[in-house]
Amino acid sequence: MSRWVVWVPLAIFAVLVGFFFKGLTLDPGSQPSALIGKPVPSFQLTDLHTGKVLTRQTLPARPFLLNVWASWCITCQVEHPYLTELSDRVPIVGLNYKDSETAAKTWLAKLGDPYATQIFDPSGRLGLDLGVAGAPETFLVDSRGVIQLRIQGEVNDRVYQHQILPLLETLK
Amino acid sequence: MIPEIGHFALVLSFAVSICSATFPLYGYFTRQQGFLATAKPLALLQGFALTVSFGVLIYGFLAHDFTIKYVAANSNLDLPWYFRMSAVWGAHEGSLLLWVLILSLWGVAVALFSREIPVHMSALVLAVMGIIGAGFLAFMLFTSNPFVRILPFAPPNGADLNPLLQDPGLIFHPPMLYMGYVGLSVAFAFAIASLISGELNSMWARWSRPWTTVAWAFLTLGIALGSWWAYYELGWGGWWFWDPVENASLIPWLVATALMHSLAVTEKRGLFRSWTLLLAIAAFSLSLLGTFLVRSGVLTSVHAFANDPERGVFILGFLVVVIGGSLALYAVRASKVSESGEFGWISRESFLLFNNLILTVMAVSVLLGTLYPLLVDAVGGGKVSVGAPFFNAVFVPLTAILVSGMAFGPLSKWREADDPRLYRPLIVTMIVSVVIGLAWPTTLGGEYSIATAFGVTIALWLAIATAVDFVNKTRSFGGVGRTFARVERGMFGMWFAHLGVAIIIFGIVMVENHTEHRDLRMGVGDRQQLGSYEVRMTELSVLRGPNYVADQATFEIYWGDRLYKTVSPQKRRYNASGMVMTEASIDPGFTRDLYIAMGEPLDGGDWAVRLSVKPFVDWIWAGAFLMGLGGFISVTDKRYRQRAVEKQTDSCVEGAKA
C-alpha cells in the first residue's frame, strides 16, 4: 500500500472535525433559549373569566410573570400556594394551556386565584409559539413585553430567590 | 442512601476503566506478564460495578425516588412499572449508562471467551475497550451524571417519560441497538490491538469475525425494531424517514456489513488486510459519530436528546482522541502491510471486493446526505435539509447492483478465474425472475408500475439464486440436516441473511408503490371503502388511562357482509406533559396491514381519520429478523465451537467457503 494513501482517512476525519466544531457553535433549530430577549409572540385570545379579547398590548406595563398552567397538571397544583404568596410581590399573568373552561374555573375556585389576568388558550396556540414543552412553565417578562427568563417546571422559593429575583431587580 | 451506592459504583467503574486502559498497555510495552494479567479481572470487575450502578438506577425508577433528578425528570407516579424500567434508558443520562454497561458486558464476554487468544492480544483488546469506557464514564460523571440528587426540595411527582417513549418498542429497541453499536467496539479493539502489536496477519481477522457478526446481528435487529416502533408509534405510518438519527445507525450498519464480508477474505486468503483494518476502525468510529450527532445538538431530529453544546465539545474531543488516534496509528502501521496473493477477475475475492465498494459508497452517501445540512450551515449557506429523494436516488440503483453481486457471489470460487459455466443456473433464474417480475404488477390492478416490476424482479432473482445455491451446496454436503449439523453453519447464516434482503426489498417495493392511503372526515355511523374492506365508525368515546386521557374511535371492519374485526385507535393526551399522541390501530397481516389512525377533531363531532392499506409492509421487518437470525446462526459454526481444540495454523489453506 502506498505511503500517502493510508493518511487519507485521517485527513478526511480532520476536515469533518473542523465542520463539527463549527457546527457546535451554530443553532440547528429553534432552541428554547431563542425566545429570551424577544418579545412575547403576538396573540389574540380571550380572558377566561370575562371573555374579553386579550392581545400582547393588554399585558401589564411593568415586569410580570407569565405562568403556563392547566388543571390537568399536578405540578401546577404543587406550585400554586407559592404563586399565591408571590402574587403580592409581582403580578402574575396566567396562561391556561390546553384546558377546558369549566375545569380551569373549578380549579381556580377551589384553590384560589393569584392571577392578575387569565389568558385562555384551549388549543395551545400561544403555548406553541412560546415553545412550551409542558406545564408548568413560567416566563419573566419585562415592562416592554420582552421575555427575560424561562423556568421549566415548578416555581418555588429557591427558583424565585436564585433565578427570578436577581433579574427582576435589574428590571425595576 | 441507595442512589449513593449506584453513584459510588459508577465512580468505581471509572477508576477501574482507567486501570484497564493503562495496566495492560504498560505490561505490554515493558513485557511484564503481571500487568498483562490484570486485564481480564479488571474487565470482570468493571462489568460488576456497572451492573450494580445500573441496577440502582432501575431501583430508583421502580421505587419512585424523585430525589434523583433523572428519575424526577423522566418518571411519574402514574407510569406503569414496565415503562419505568424502560424509562431508565429513555433519556440522555440513563441511555449513556446503558451504553457503558453494554460495553462492560462485551468486555466481560471477551475476557471469558478468549482463552485461545494469546494473552498479550486479549489484554490489548481489553485495554482499547478500557480507553473507550474511560472516555464515556468521564463524560457521564462530569457532564451527564444520572445520580444527581434534588435535595432537600425533591418534587412530589415526576415530570413523566416522554409519551413517545411509553411504548413496548422502546423497551427493546435501545438495548438491541446499543448491543450492535457497542459490539462493534470489539472488532475495533481487535484491529487496534493488532496495529499496536504489529501482528497484521490474518489471525486477528479470524478472532474478530464472530464478534463482528454478533454485533452486526444485534445492530440489524436494533434498527429493525426502531423502524417498527416508528411505524406504529409515531403515528405517521412510515417505516423509514431518513432522519439523521436513523441514518446514524444505518451508516455503521452498512460499514459493518462490508466489514463482515471483507473479514472473510482476510481470514481465508490473507487479502485486503489494510482495507479490512480500516473498515473495522470505521465501523465503530461511525457508531461513535452517531452518538455525537444525537447528543450534541448539531443536527435536529425527532430522536435528538436535549441539546447541550458543552456535552458536544466533550464528545468531539473524545472522538478526536479515539478516531484520530486510531486513524493515525493506522496510517503509520498500514503502510507496512504487505498484500500477498492473487485472485482472478471473476472470483469470490473480486465479488466480495465489489460488494465492499458498493456498501462503502452507500455508507458515504448516507453520511454525506446526513451531514450536508451541517456542512452548508457551517460555510454560511443557511439551513437546508436533504430528504428522501436524494437517498432514494442513491439507494435504488446501488441496491440493484449489490443484489447482482449477491446472486453471483456465493456461486463463485476463491482465487481462480471461474469457469463461466458455474453461473449458468443464474441465467435461467434471471429469466424466470424477469418473467414473473414483469407479470406481477398486472395482478395488482390499477396502473402498471415499472418500478414494481423492476423491484420484484430483483428480489425474486436474489431469492431464487440463494435457493439454488442452497440446494446445490446442501446436496454436495449430503443433505440439509447433515449440512446444518456438521458442515457449514456459516453457510446457513449467509442463506438466511441473503434471503432476508430479498424479502426486505420485496416488502419495500410493494409498500412504497402500492400503499392505498386516504385522509377522510368521519363521524359515528359513517362508512368508507378501504381496499376490499368496508370500515364503519361505530362509536366515539373518552377513556382514562393510567397517566393519560384518550379520545377513542371504534371502527368495525367488514369483509363483504361479515364483521372481520373491531379496532379502536386513540388520540391520547398525557396528563403530566400535556403531549398529544396518536395511537394508530394496525391489523397486521401476511399480505397487508390495515392502518387506521385518528387525526384532528373537526367541528360537529367528526374526526379527521387516516385509513391505509399497506401491502407486505411486515415483510420488511420479517426480512430484517431473518438477517439477524442468519448472523446468530453463523457464529455457531463449528470452527468457532471447536476452535479451542484446533490448531490455529490452518487459516490460509481452507478451500471454498466464505
Over B454-505, what HEC string results? HHHHHHHHHHHHHHHHHHHHHHHHCCHHHHHHHHCHHHHHHHHHHHHHHHHH
- Residues B505, B538 within the same domain: no
Specify whether B65 is located in the same domain as B160.
Answer: yes
The domain spans of chain A are 28-171
| Assigned domain for B633 exists | no
pLDDT category, A36, cuts 50, 70, 90? confident
Query: Measured between alpha carbons, how far is B338 from B198 in angstroms, rounded to an integer?
Result: 12
Query: Distance between CA atoms of B265 and B414, rounded to whole angstroms?
Result: 9
Cα-based distances in Å from B606 to B526, B527, B551: 10, 13, 12
- Nearest CA-CA distance, residue A127 and chain B, Å: 11
Q: Please report the DSSP string for A143-157 in residue order.
A: TTSBEEEEEES---H
- pLDDT digit string, tens, across residues A119-148: 998 877 787 778 776 678 889 998 888 888
Q: Is B373 exposed, middle or buried (0-12, 13-18, 19+ CB in 10 A)?
A: buried
Q: List Cβ<8 Å contacts ≥24 apart for A28-35.
A: A28/B297, A28/B298, A28/B299, A28/B300, A28/B307, A28/B374, A28/B377, A28/B383, A29/B300, A30/A131, A31/B297, A31/B307, A32/A131, A32/A133, A32/A150, A32/A152, A33/A150, A34/A131, A35/A130, A35/A131, A35/A147, A35/A150
Contact (CB<8Å) B327/A75: no
Asked whether the beta carbons of residue A133 and residue B278 sit closer than 8 angstroms, the reply is no
Interatomic CA distance for residues B28 and B197, integer angstroms:
9
Question: Does B79 fall in a domain?
Answer: yes
Q: Which residue in B69, B335, B385 has the most chain A C-beta atoms within 10 A of its own C-beta, making it the best mutation to test that interface?
A: B335
Under a CB-based contact definition with an 8 Å cutoff, are residues B314 and B143 in contact? yes
The answer to whether B542 and B551 are in contact (CB under 8 A) is yes
Give me the residue from A1, A29, A97 closest to B578, CB to CB. A97
Give residue B50's domain range.
1-166
**Within-domain flag for B649:** no
What is the rounded CA–CA span in Å between residue B256 and residue B248? 13
Give the contacts of B653 (CB within 8 A, at least 6 positions apart).
Answer: none
Q: Is B134 part of a structural domain of the chain?
A: yes
Report the alpha-carbon distance of residue B433 to residue B458 in Å, rounded: 8
Residue B334 resides in a domain: no
Q: Give the closest-approach CA distance of B227 to chain A in angstroms.
A: 24
A75 neighbors B157 (Cβ within 8 angstroms): yes
Three-state SS at B50: helix
- B31 and B148: one domain? yes
Tell me what pLDDT residue B654 has.
37
The answer to whether the beta carbons of residues A164 and A149 sit under 8 Å apart is: yes
In chain B, the N- to C-terminal Cα span, in Å, equals 55
Using DSSP's 3-state secondary structure scheme, residue A3 falls into: coil
A-B Cβ pairs (cutoff 8 Å, strict): 108
Distance from CA of A124 to the nearest CA of B (A): 10
Distance to chain B for A61, nearest Cα, Å: 30
Q: What DSSP character marks residue B415? A: S
**Cα–Cα distance for residue pair B410/B115, rounded to 1 Å:** 32
Low-confidence ranges of chain B (pLDDT < 50): 300-306, 643-658
Q: Which amino acid is at B182?
A: V
Residue A28 and residue B300: Cβ atoms within 8 Å? yes
Where does a domain end: B138, B166, B194? Answer: B166
SS3 annotation, B218-282: HHHHHHHHHHHHHHHHCCCCCCCCCCHHHHHHHHHHHHHHHHHHHHHHHHHHCCCHHHHHHHHHH
Domains held by chain B: number:
3
Give mean pLDDT, residues A13-28: 76
Strand B585-587 with A117-121, pairing: unpaired
Enter the C-alpha cell of residue A158.
429557591
Task: Write the CA distances from B1 to B7, B87, B137, B369, integer angstroms.
Answer: 10, 21, 22, 48
Report which of B130, B76, B107 is spatially closest to residue B183, judged by C-alpha positions.
B107
A136: preceding bond cis by omega (within 30 degrees): yes
Does residue B436 sit in the same domain as residue B577? no
Question: Do B142 and B50 share a structural domain?
Answer: yes
Q: For residue A141, what is the DSSP state?
A: E
Question: What residues contact B224, with CB distance under 8 A and at least 6 apart?
Answer: B620, B621, B624, B625, B628
Instruction: Flag if A124 and B578 touch (Cβ within 8 Å).
Output: yes
Compute the distance between CA of residue A72 and CA of residue A103 in angstroms, rounded to an integer: 9
Strands A137-141 and A117-121: unpaired
pLDDT tens, position by position, B56-80: 999 999 999 898 988 988 888 888 8
Contact between residue B587 and residue B566 where contact means Cβ atoms under 8 Å apart = no
Residues B507 and B423 in one domain: yes
Q: What is the DSSP string of B323-369?
A: IIHHHHHHHHHHTTPPP-----SSSHHHHHHHHHHHHHHHHHHHHHH
Using a CB–CB cutoff of 8 Å, tell me whether B298 touches chain A. yes
pLDDT score of B381: 59
- pLDDT for residue B212: 95
Residue among B548, B547, B526, B534 nearest B607 (CA) = B526
Residue B328 covered by a domain: no
What is the structure's pLDDT at B114?
A: 85
In Å, how far is B336's CA from the nearest CA of chain A? Answer: 8
The grid coordinates of residue A27 equal: 443553532
**Residue B540 shares a structural domain with residue B496:** no
Identify the CATH class of A28-171.
alpha beta
Q: Using CA atoms, how far apart are residues B612 and B100, in angstroms rounded to an integer?
A: 41
Q: What 3-state DSSP class applies to B549?
A: strand
- Do B141 and B88 reside in the same domain of the chain? yes
User: What grid cell was written down for B361?
Assistant: 459508497
Which of B64, B243, B285, B298 to probe the A interface (max A CBs under 10 A)?
B298
Confidence of residue A156 (pLDDT cuts 50, 70, 90): confident
B327 and A20: CB-CB below 8 Å? no
At CB < 8 A and 24+ separation, what contacts does A55-61 make? A56/A145, A58/A117, A59/A93, A59/A141, A59/A145, A60/A91, A60/A93, A60/A116, A60/A117, A60/A143, A61/A143
Nearest CA in chain A to B282: A9
**B382 close to A (CB below 8 A):** no
In a domain, B476, yes or no: yes
Asked if B115 and B36 sit in the same domain, the reply is yes
Residues B401 and A80: their CA atoms lie apart, in Å, by 65
Q: Do B493 and B541 reside in the same domain of the chain?
A: no
Clarify whether residues B474 and B545 are in a common domain.
no
CB nearest B309 (choices: A7, A24, A78): A24
- Interface contact A28-B153, CB threshold 8 A: no
Q: What is the DSSP letter of B578?
A: -
Straight-line distance from the first to the last Cα atom of chain A, in angstroms, rounded to the nearest whole number = 71
Give the nearest chain A residue to B548 (CA atoms). Answer: A72
Residues A51, A42: Cα–Cα separation, whole Å: 18
Whether B382 is in a domain gets the answer no
- Hunting for cell 471447536 — which residue is that? B642
Question: What confidence tens digit (pLDDT) does each residue in A100-116 have?
Answer: 888 888 889 888 899 98
Same domain, B503 and B604: no
